[in-house]
Every structure is written in C-alpha cells, then in structure tokens.
Structure 1
C-alpha cells in the first residue's frame, strides 16, 4: 500500500519523499512505517521507471530536496494496483489508501469489481454460518465458544455493512 500512496501523491503533484512520508503518517497515524521501508519502496518505484526526478532544489544550510513526478508507466501501474485493491481486499482498513485515489480509476469499473468482492465475502460468511450452527449445537459447546463466535460474526457483518457503504460511495463518486 505504501507504493500506491507514493504513486497517488505523485499523480496529484510533484513532490519529494520526506513530504510524502510525512503526509502518509498523517493520513494513517497508526501505520508503523520505518524510514528504511519507505525509502526502499520509493527507490524501487524509481528503478521500475514508475517515477522520475524532476529537479533537485538546493537551499543554503539545508539538504538537497529531490522532486519527483509519476511517469505514464507509473500511472498505468497505479490504476492497475487500485483495481487489485478493490478486488482482493475485504477488510475496509486495507482500502483506506486506495479510497484516497479514486480520481485515478474508472469508478464504475471499480464499483463492479468491489461489488463482486462483497458478494464473495457474503458467501464466505454464509458458509461459516452453516458451520457455526453445527459447532454450537454440540454438547461441548461452551459459553466462551459462543462468545468468540458471536464476536467474529458481528465483526464480519459490520465490515460487510461498511463495504456496502463504500460501494455506494464509489458509485456516487
């Protein structure tokens, strides 16, 4: 997701790594993001020619500031990766970054992809629902099993509800 964020930010405007990392930590403050990992991902995008240097700004008594922009190849990659996010992620938290960059994809296409993801998630939990009945009907079913199972299902249904809200948001976007 770090790479998607970097590309999305550079699709918006020319920028430099330090500022992009700072903004990422503001948007997702709970992210544990080491400087090393961030700069590794940044350099990887540069080597793949998804981003390129625009200029290096030199200021007195300050380190050089290298400004970057996204390339056409990077824009194509960003779009592809955003669609993948809506296809493979069923936890809303995993989509936070992708939601920020809806301007760079066809939201109708993203909506169709995400609708399919929601349906798969609903089917998956329906299968669990059948197993739940069997599990809880046994004599050895305990209060703790019931408690844990209830929590898991409530969390899943809450997540699906929010996925549907996100789908509506995408469709209106």
Structure 2
C-alpha cells in the first residue's frame, strides 16, 4: 500500500505523469521497486477512481504524455490510509512513505494511533517473553536454535519499538515545523 500512498500523496501536491512520479520516489526514499510493480499500482489507483487523467501533452515525435491528478475520493482515501499505517505498523521500514506524507494528516491524530500501536506492540512482546516454550520434546541442538531465534526476535522487536517511540516524538514535533 505504501507505493500507492506515495502516488496519491505526490498527486495531491501537483499533477504528474507516471514516469515523473517513479523518478521522484526513487530520488527521495531509499527503496527498490520494479517498474512493473509501480505501474501496476498506478493503474489500480486509476481503476478505483482515486486518480484520473487531467490532460494529455503532445510532444513532437514522441507518444503523448498523460498527466494525472488525484480525485476527491483519492484525497479521502490517502488520509485514511496514512492513519491506518500508524495503526498497523510493526516495522519502521513499513512507514517510510507514510512519514514522508505526514503533511496530509493531523499529526495529533497520527500520534494517537501510533501511541496505541506502540502499547499493543509492547504488550504483544511482553506476552511472548512470558510464554513458556515447550522445550521438553526438543533435543539440545533444537533448544539452542530456539534460544538463538528468540534472542533475535526479541532484539528486533525492541529495536522497532525504540524507533516507533522516536517516530512518535518526531510526529509530535511535526506540527511545530509547519
């Protein structure tokens, strides 16, 4: 969904064509994206009525360049999906594009959703830490492997929660930056 959000957010600023949008995405956010995936998302947004062609530019000896804009339904969808991103996050990487598009939502509301997500994530990992893994049926090598995997999972969760807390501080300061 984040790729679709980038397209919608970019078109909320100004009309553009798919090639310019893809170039802008790769210029500002460090992600890998295939051309097919990008155009698939673009076409899906158009089929849903969230973006639409607004004009066609004639260029000599080249195919016409179609410029697209966001629809009013697309603006509502963009705002809701940004909020939904903060409700469902478990890794900061999943939020790169959402963070980039914070200007389209109320930072106070986004902070509220992120705070709730952080609480849920902390509770979830606390429950995992409290759970007793049934290791009586495992041999020593399997027990060692389970401990190794658990150590990684818990350190990753702590890292992600730490960054979500930093993001929360960023969002709370975002209003001041305007």
Name the TM-score, length of structure 2 as normaliser.
Answer: 0.86
Q: Note the 1:92-171 alignment, pairs <5 A.
A: 92-131=92-131, 134-135=132-133, 142-171=143-172
TM-superposed CA distance for 1:137, in Å, is 8.3
Is contact 1:136–1:146 with CA below 8 Å preserved after alignment?
A: no
Q: Note the 1:11-160 alignment, pairs <5 A.
A: 11-33=12-34, 35-131=35-131, 134-135=132-133, 142-160=143-161
Alpha-carbon separation, structure 2, partners of 1:50 and 1:137: 51
Q: RMSD between aligned alpha carbons?
A: 2.0
**Residue by residue, what CA displacement relative to the aligned partner does 1:91-147 show, whole Å, maximum 9, x if unpaired?**
11111111110010011001101110110000000001112xx33986956433322
Name the TM-score, length of structure 1 as normaliser.
Answer: 0.88
Alpha-carbon separation, structure 2, partners of 1:30 and 1:145: 32
Structure 2 residue matching 1:55: 3-state secondary structure: strand
TM-superposed CA distance for 1:49, in Å, is 2.3
Between 48-57 and 88-97, report the one with greater CA deviation. 48-57
Alpha-carbon separation, structure 2, partners of 1:148 and 1:36: 35
Q: Structure 2: which 5+ residue stretches go unaligned? A: none
Alpha-carbon separation, structure 2, partners of 1:100 and 1:29: 12
1:5 is matched with which residue?
6
Alpha-carbon separation, structure 2, partners of 1:76 and 1:27: 24
Number of residue pairs aligned between Structure 1 and Structure 2: 170
Structure 1 residue matching 2:7: 3-state secondary structure: helix
Structure 1 residue matching 2:133: 3-state secondary structure: helix
Alpha-carbon separation, structure 1, partners of 2:12 and 2:126: 40
> Structure 1 residues 60 and 154, CA, compared in 2 at 3 Å: closer, same or farther?
same
TM-superposed CA distance for 1:50, in Å, is 1.5
Between 51-60 and 137-146, report the one with greater CA deviation. 137-146
Alpha-carbon separation, structure 1, partners of 2:31 and 2:171: 25
Structure 2 residue matching 1:59: 3-state secondary structure: coil
TM-superposed CA distance for 1:46, in Å, is 1.9
Q: Structure 1: which 5+ residue stretches go unaligned? A: none
